[in-house]
A = this chain, B = another copy of it.
């Protein structure tokens, strides 16, 4: 299977840079964690600051921008229970298109409400039905399906996270064309670094892995999963896609990390991902509290897994300069209040 290339990711970045400032993704900075171990400094890539609260806006906007003018009035369709649905609703509105979101009955109410607030039509279905139903709706209406991860345009969009990391680390664009915002002085890390990326369906780590390794070929790219949804680790280590039952994968409270890689994203992961490590539910909760308390970032549990790996699985990681992608921030307010109030966190 053909992998998404660095050239496609650079093109995605250029497409985003051409969008008006009020629409395009925020060019998130690298934020130093103030109290990191000096032998392995930690930089956070805060994608929770995106207008929809997660990196998903990148892939959705890129896919939406690729829809031909003539097809725009027929709209976009997404099947997702969470941040991707909200991102597709956002992208559709940004390009003046209607959006339909097919959600399982089990979807978190707050995330569904967020997509609805952006003007999307919500179609609730049984979990097993959602992909088929989305495609049927798209066929009937001539609309464009934007898959959550199994799509080259989406992967290229998510990969812009990796380009920005490499740009800011280098203080240059590593030979790539300048994107919308680059740093004029780097961190002096050279190629000596590890990039930690949350893994669910694998769209983010596919794009980030390709982008980072195209600019910094010696970088290590490591995925992070909840112990309770470690199917991608299982697959990567065994060299073949291992399927965990949905009921198993959905045990984790990190509700954004319950999908499984597709053939396409698994092919990317075999090529550009060095390893996948897992974190416990307790460590995810601790890291979520840490990010708010010490780094002033509200992350959702799925977005905090990389910080959890840094803080609690250091022995499994190279002892070197580390970047952690904080992929999203859509956590329930009362849940966050509870995490912050618990004494040992």
Bound-state Cα–Cα, A35 to B53, Å = 12
A179 contacts B by Cβ under 8 Å = yes
Could you give, for residues 167-183 of chain A, a 1 whenever the CB lies within 8 Å of some chain B CB and a 0 otherwise? 01101000000111111
Whether A168 contacts B21 in the complex (CB less than 8 A), given A32-B51, A49-B46, A184-B178, comes out as yes
Given known pairs A26-B32, A28-B29, A34-B51, the reply for A185 and B297 (CB within 8 Å) is no
Residue in chain B with minimal CB distance to A18: B185
A183 touches B292 (CB 8 A): no
Shortest Cβ-Cβ A-B pairs, 5 listed: A296-B329, A21-B187, A337-B340, A296-B298, A337-B341
This chain's copy number in the assembly: 2
Least CB separation from A336: chain B residue: B340
Nearest Cβ on chain B to A16's Cβ, whole angstroms:
9
Cβ of A304 to closest chain B Cβ, rounded Å: 12
Report the nearest B residue to A49, measured CB to CB: B31
Judge whether A19 is part of the interface by a CB distance below 8 angstroms. Answer: yes
Number of interface residues of A (CB under 8 A): 54
Q: A292-B333, A341-B341 are in contact. List 13 more A-B contacts (CB 8 A).
A: A17-B185, A20-B187, A21-B30, A21-B185, A21-B186, A22-B187, A24-B185, A27-B29, A46-B296, A181-B182, A181-B184, A296-B299, A337-B337
Contact indicator A52/B26 (Cβ below 8 Å): no
A239 on the B face (CB < 8 A): no
A334 contacts the other chain (CB 8 A): yes
A residues in contact (CB < 8 Å) with B:
17-22, 24, 26-32, 34-35, 41, 46, 48-49, 51-53, 117, 168-169, 171, 178-188, 289, 292-293, 295-299, 329, 333-334, 336-338, 340-341
Whether B299 contacts A17 by the Cβ 8 Å rule is: no
A-B contact pairs, 19 of them (CB 8 A): A20-B187, A21-B30, A22-B187, A27-B29, A27-B183, A49-B295, A49-B297, A53-B296, A178-B184, A179-B184, A180-B185, A181-B181, A181-B184, A289-B333, A292-B292, A292-B336, A296-B297, A296-B298, A340-B340
Measured CB to CB, the closest approach of chain B to A263, in angstroms, equals 34
Chain B, residue nearest A170 (CB)? B21
Residues of B within 8 A of A31 (CB): 26, 49
Inter-chain contacts of A182 with B (CB < 8 A) = 181
> In the complex, A180→B182 CA distance in Å?
7
Contact (Cβ within 8 A) B296 A49: yes
CB pair A20 B185 closer than 8 Å: yes
What CA separation (Å) do A336 and B338 show in the bound complex?
11
- Find the B residue at minimum CB distance from A180: B184
For A181, the chain B residues whose CB sits under 8 A away are: 29, 181-184
A333 — which chain B residues lie within 8 A by C-beta?
289, 292-293, 340
Most buried by B among A53, A179, A187, A296: A296
| Closest CB in chain B relative to A87 CB, distance in Å | 12
What's the least CB distance linking A121 to chain B, in Å? 20
Q: Which chain B residue has the least Cβ–Cβ distance from A293?
A: B333
How far does the alpha carbon of A335 sit from the alpha carbon of B181 in the complex, in Å? 36
**A286 CB → nearest B CB, Å:** 13
Chain B residues with CB below 8 A from A299, complex form? 296
- Nearest-Cβ distance from residue A23 to partner chain B, whole angstroms: 9
Q: Which residues of B contact A295 (CB under 8 A)?
A: 49
Contact across chains for B21 and A49 when beta carbons are under 8 A apart? no
